[in-house]
Chain A
């Protein structure tokens, strides 16, 4: 019989307890939400502490608590170092966040910018990419929730996944972005402390020397600095991270919600705080062979090691940490996606004269709808988390150049930006299927960049920044 670190009853008790506390917190924070701007952008006045914490905590996702250990288990030292390079996304977004706040002081979403800067064609392509990415990430997070509970407590995958999704939808529904940001702050603290405790225990009890010795003897490839697959994966992962952050409304809506002058330093601080975390979580996976832990599937390695070394108390700790990490990303993505649909589709295409209260109501229905759709997509347990995320890399990396050029230069026009995103995505997908996962984002970014360059060379018209200010804004 499998011995799970936690019995199912305890796991259920913790998860339901957390769900109730977070939802109550969401309701309490939501009492300040008077307008749609309050609900979607927390009143555009978020201070430095919450801003830095939310930037960091949202980026600590299933990536860092489940996939970083998974990739370290598969690709060794480069897996964890490579993953920590994803911090570059936050660091490079810092100047962009400042620019976004400057160009769109009254803007709502990343879709707003693309529509005003590049027009409808590029906007349509961008929305398709955003939707594919958002659902890819939402589904991978929902699945991670189910996998986590199953690995730690034997609780049925479907029950775990359902409760996590319902909780995040619950508190975001009541509290809006304010609840998302405030819970992120607390979740960030829980995550860091938990991860540090597990890693310290391993260093203290197992020892870095013995881990290094065991790996060099039985799993030498994991310590190899010239591990071919890992070297190939490195820049692909960086471009994937850049694409995720540069295009996603999760990060744009944060930039727009932060107080003036806070956006730049908040993203910079968040990135620097995030940088060492994947190394610490990845290291947990490297200790596995020394402890005689070999997981059934690689994405279970992080929780499996932590739970087995720390016993029941540790299992509870790990459980809460990973649960917090998942929630801090899931809530952000739910909020940002429903903002995107409310603002870009409902407000701009369906009901142009919608009142503030109508927008807020639609946003809430939308949040609920996205939650239900995510749940439906999580039902078939499609792929391992890593595979699913790499597939999305082809989509998001194609947006890097159009977004960067669009924010700073006036020479690129909509048709080329749209073609760049579409062709980049298609090329990335072809590379994914014909060559391998490790080139999808790289090829997508390169092709899109090339088309943008051609667009700049052939374009004569200069975009006027004033066109970004919509009537009535």
Chain B
């Protein structure tokens, strides 16, 4: 290893340490009990998705997620309890639309900001086309198998 490489390595280490300190400082600067939620960024195509929770302090358990179709959470669609001390949850069964999700602990909102998730199912024509193609292929296979079986039985 050349001296330049050694220097580069120690420089990188120092940079990393500095970065770590900065990150931890900014975390402290945030409200201590603010949960950070993250969900799928792209459109959800099958109605189920995973929401991840970061910065969950043990004092915030039991924790729930509230799901609403309005940004103001005027009416709630579901309240989802988070299992044990897991830091993620899989939500399911959503129709196409926009959904807002926030974290609550004992009626108190504890997430920094609500996240927005967009669900947009595949168009039904696309689904039915694939279904029909599959059905045709299956029928063809079934016929081949039945014909083969009959032929084999006849040759016995």
Residues on A lying within 8 angstroms of B by beta carbon are: 1-4, 73-76, 92, 95-96, 99, 102, 215, 218-222, 226-232, 234-236, 238-239, 242, 289, 292-298, 301, 304, 400-401, 404-405, 407-409, 438-439, 442, 445-446, 449
Contact = CB atoms under 8 A, between A and B. Distances in A.
Contact of A229 (B122, B133, B142): B122
Interface of B: 45-48, 50, 77-78, 80-95, 121-124, 126-128, 130-131, 133-135, 137-138, 140-142, 144-145, 147-149, 151-152, 156
A188 to B, nearest CB: 26
Contact of A221 (B80, B94, B126): B94
Given A99-B149, A221-B47, A297 B90 contact: yes
13 contacts: A2-B83, A73-B92, A76-B93, A92-B142, A102-B156, A219-B94, A226-B124, A229-B46, A231-B131, A232-B130, A293-B83, A296-B87, A449-B141
B89 A295 contact: yes
Given A232-B126, A404-B148, A446 B137 contact: yes
Per DSSP, chain A at the interface is helix
A473 B20 CA distance: 70
Contact of A234 (B88, B131, B147): B131
B90 A73 contact: yes
Closest 3 A-B residue pairs measured CB to CB? Answer: A235-B134, A219-B93, A2-B84
Nearest to A400: B141
A2 B62 CA distance: 10
Question: What is the predominant secondary structure among interface residues of chain B facing chain A?
Answer: mixed
Given A75-B46, A235-B130, A296-B88, A218 B78 contact: yes
Name the residue in B46, B78, B84, B135 with the highest tally of chain A Cβ atoms < 10 Å from its Cβ: B46
A1 B89 contact: no
A119 to B, nearest CB: 21
A400 B142 CA distance: 11
Nearest to A75: B46
A74 to B, nearest CB: 5
B46 A294 contact: no
Given A95-B149, A236-B134, A74 B84 contact: no
A215 B92 CA distance: 10
Contacts of A407: 148
A266 B49 CA distance: 41
* Most chain A CB atoms below 10 A, which of B77, B80, B145, B156: B145
A219 B130 contact: no
Contacts of B47: 74, 221-222, 227, 229
B48 A296 contact: no
Contacts of A438: 130
B73 to A, nearest CB: 15
Nearest to A299: B90
A69 to B, nearest CB: 12
A407 B50 CA distance: 45
B141 A242 contact: yes
Given A102-B152, A219-B94, A232-B131, A295 B141 contact: no
Given A298-B90, A404-B144, A446-B137, A229 B83 contact: no
Contacts of A405: 144, 148
B83 A295 contact: yes
B134 A234 contact: yes
Contacts of B135: 235
A445 B148 CA distance: 19
B131 A294 contact: no
B145 A404 contact: yes
Contacts of A75: 46
Contact of B148 (A219, A221, A222, A408): A408
Contacts of B137: 235, 239, 442, 445-446, 449
A298 B92 CA distance: 9
A2 B86 contact: yes
Contact of B50 (A2, A297, A400, A404): A297
A150 B145 CA distance: 43
B44 to A, nearest CB: 10
Contacts of B80: 294
A231 B20 CA distance: 48
Contacts of B85: 1-2
Contacts of A295: 83, 89-90
A228 B127 contact: yes
Contact of A296 (B90, B124, B140): B90
A222 B130 contact: no
- Most chain B CB atoms below 10 A, which of A96, A218, A220, A400: A218
B141 to A, nearest CB: 7
Given A92-B142, A227-B47, A408-B147, 14 more contacts: A1-B85, A74-B46, A219-B94, A222-B92, A227-B121, A294-B81, A294-B89, A296-B83, A296-B87, A304-B83, A400-B141, A404-B145, A405-B148, A408-B144
Contacts of B138: 235, 238-239
A41 to B, nearest CB: 22
A96 B133 CA distance: 25
A99 B147 CA distance: 13
A464 to B, nearest CB: 14
A172 B101 CA distance: 50
Nearest to B61: A1
A298 B89 CA distance: 9
